[in-house]
């Protein structure tokens, strides 16, 4: 992981200073040291005094903001979960109709939330990277620094309460303590690097037994503190003398097993691997299966030696890119800008947009995005690359096109497709 890669191109968005600042808010060590010593390996505690923001994380989401979400934003499931005594509270106990004009039956009822929270339940606001402006921007910047898709939840726990029993997550997390104090106990994994299909519930006895032993980290997080936990590390947390609010940033990184899955999907193209088992094979008999297993492994080995990295990368791109949406656009303002494009108009690439330019061999160029592929004349490639890397902002300066009329046509297309945005 690095935050100093050259900007843009081949699916890697530009890495602006905002991305470096977002990561610096979460870790009190240099990015290189974090990558080498902690990323996917070991927890890292960063105290508020070691981090750059004197006000901690209240600018991202404070208690008053959480109250607004719970009471004035028409919140629905699954954007809220409620847990008590280590168990999730059924949504039917705290949701209902929203009144006239909002008759849907799964809106959060603030009276019910109050009742549960006052009795010790933990509130989990989910998907805040999609609903709360400050966290939309922060998640995009941090995701750019990490080159990984993120999700952000907030945990509101009453004084003295513990929302969940000791468990592990199947993704890495940053814990950002916003308000109050929370006691964390961290234990080593019972299953290093678990996949999403390997949740902690399948190893509940091992988790419980390990949690009875000495903790690898036993710490109280104060406002402004940050904690990084790799996936698989056991943890539990209990609010102290006052209520607690913390943010959990979940990092949905792809794994080597994802490469294995895509290789297997591509292996369906190999006729030897598609062949049926011999007539009458008893699949429950190890002796009958052994020669078929040997031949299958040999065929698979031969196929893997010919595997095309470009084909694997294309399939991984289809997984990763849709998981990290680019910055929101303002449809009305974008439409107004579209109508006013001229040679002096200045544009910028949509922040966080992942893209790739590939010649198609028929005097066209394919612009691959997270959700679609656009085909344009090959002569547009220099202009596209210049704009998407940030090398050029003024429409009239776009290279490779014959005149300003062609440049304006391309600029309008990029605005309409939400690839470019008006420069600020």
Is 37 in the same domain as 174? yes
Is 115 in the same domain as 263? no
In-domain check, residue 191: yes
Q: How many CB atoms lie within 10 A of CB 171?
A: 19
Buried b (16+ CB within 10 A) or exposed e, 55-83: ebbbebbbeebbeebbeeeebbeebbbbb
In-domain check, residue 11: no
Going along 360-412, which residue ranges are E strands? Answer: 364-368, 373-377
Residuewise pLDDT in 10s, the chain (424 residues): 333 333 344 444 445 788 999 999 999 999 999 999 999 999 999 999 999 988 999 999 999 999 999 999 999 999 999 999 888 999 999 999 988 887 788 999 999 999 999 999 999 999 999 999 999 999 999 999 999 999 999 999 999 998 788 999 999 999 999 999 999 999 999 999 999 999 999 999 999 999 999 999 999 999 999 999 999 999 999 999 999 999 999 999 899 999 999 999 999 999 999 999 999 999 999 999 999 999 999 999 999 999 999 999 999 999 999 998 899 999 999 999 999 999 999 999 999 899 999 999 889 999 999 999 999 999 999 999 999 999 999 999 999 999 999 999 999 999 999 999 999 8
Q: How far is CA 4 from CA 148, 149, 184, 391, in A?
A: 15, 18, 33, 17
User: β-pairing, 172-179 with 244-251?
Assistant: antiparallel
User: β-pairing, 347-349 with 244-251?
Assistant: unpaired
In-domain check, residue 12: no
Give Cα 195 to chain centroid, integer Å. 15
Is 289 in the same domain as 205? no
Is 219 in the same domain as 262? no
The parent domain of residue 404 ranges over: 331-422
Q: Collect all residues with Cβ–Cβ distance below 8 Å to 99 and sequence separation of at least 6.
A: none
CATH assignment of the domain containing 376: 3.90.930.40
Nearest Cα to Cα of residue 122 among 110, 113, 134:
113
Burial of 3 (0-12, 13-18, 19+ CB in 10 A): buried
Nearest Cα to Cα of residue 150 among 141, 158, 159:
141
Is 210 in the same domain as 62? yes
To the question of pTM greater than 0.85 for the whole model, the response is yes
Helices (runs of H) and strands (runs of E) counted in the chain:
14, 18
Per-residue H/E/C for 348-369:
EECCCCCCEEEECCCCEEEEEC
Q: How far is CA 151 from CA 93, 117, 160, 172, 323, in A?
A: 26, 24, 27, 11, 9
Give the number of domains in the chain: 3
Is 270 in the same domain as 232? no
In-domain check, residue 69: yes
């Amino acid at each position: 992981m690095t935050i100093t890669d050259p900007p843009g191109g081949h699916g890697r968005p530009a890495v602006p200073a905002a991305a470096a600042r977002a990561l610096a808010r979460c870790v009190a060590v240099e990015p290189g040291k974090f990558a080498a010593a902690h990323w996917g390996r070991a927890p890292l505690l960063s105290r508020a005094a070691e981090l750059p923001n004197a006000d901690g994380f209240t600018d991202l989401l404070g208690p008053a903001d959480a109250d607004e979400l719970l009471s004035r934003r028409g919140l629905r499931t699954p954007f809220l979960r409620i847990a008590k005594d280590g168990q999730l509270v059924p949504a039917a106990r705290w949701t209902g109709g929203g009144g006239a004009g909002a008759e849907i039956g799964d809106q959060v009822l603030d009276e019910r939330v109050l009742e549960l929270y006052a009795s010790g339940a933990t509130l989990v606001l989910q998907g805040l990277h999609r609903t709360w402006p400050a966290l939309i921007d922060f998640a995009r910047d941090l995701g750019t620094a990490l080159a990984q898709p993120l999700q952000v939840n907030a945990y509101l726990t009453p004084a003295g309460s513990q929302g969940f029993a000791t468990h592990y997550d199947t993704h890495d997390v940053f814990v950002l303590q916003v308000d109050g104090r929370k006691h964390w106990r961290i234990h080593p994994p019972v299953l290093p690097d678990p996949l999403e299909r390997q949740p902690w519930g399948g190893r509940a006895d091992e988790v419980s037994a390990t949690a009875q032993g000495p903790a690898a980290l036993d710490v109280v997080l104060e406002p402004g503190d940050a904690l990084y936990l790799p996936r698989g590390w056991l943890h539990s947390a209990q609010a102290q003398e006052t209520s607690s609010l913390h943010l959990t940033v979940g990092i949905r990184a792809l794994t080597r097993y994802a490469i294995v899955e895509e290789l297997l999907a591509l292996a369906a193209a190999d006729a030897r691997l598609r062949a049926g088992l011999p007539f009458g094979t008893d699949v429950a008999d190890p002796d009958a299966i052994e020669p078929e297993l040997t031949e299958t492994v040999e065929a698979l080995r031969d196929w893997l030696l010919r595997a095309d990295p470009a084909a694997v990368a294309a399939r991984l791109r289809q997984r990763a890119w849709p998981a990290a949406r680019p910055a929101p656009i303002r449809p009305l303002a974008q439409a107004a800008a579209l109508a006013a494009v001229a040679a002096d108009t200045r544009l910028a690439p949509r922040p966080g947009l992942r893209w790739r330019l590939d010649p198609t061999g028929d005097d066209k160029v394919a612009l691959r995005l997270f959700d679609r592929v656009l085909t344009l004349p090959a002569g547009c490639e220099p202009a596209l690359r210049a704009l998407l890397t940030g090398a050029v902002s003024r429409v009239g300066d776009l290279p490779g096109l014959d005149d300003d009329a062609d440049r304006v046509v391309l600029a309008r297309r990029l605005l309409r497709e939400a690839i470019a945005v008006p420069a600020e």
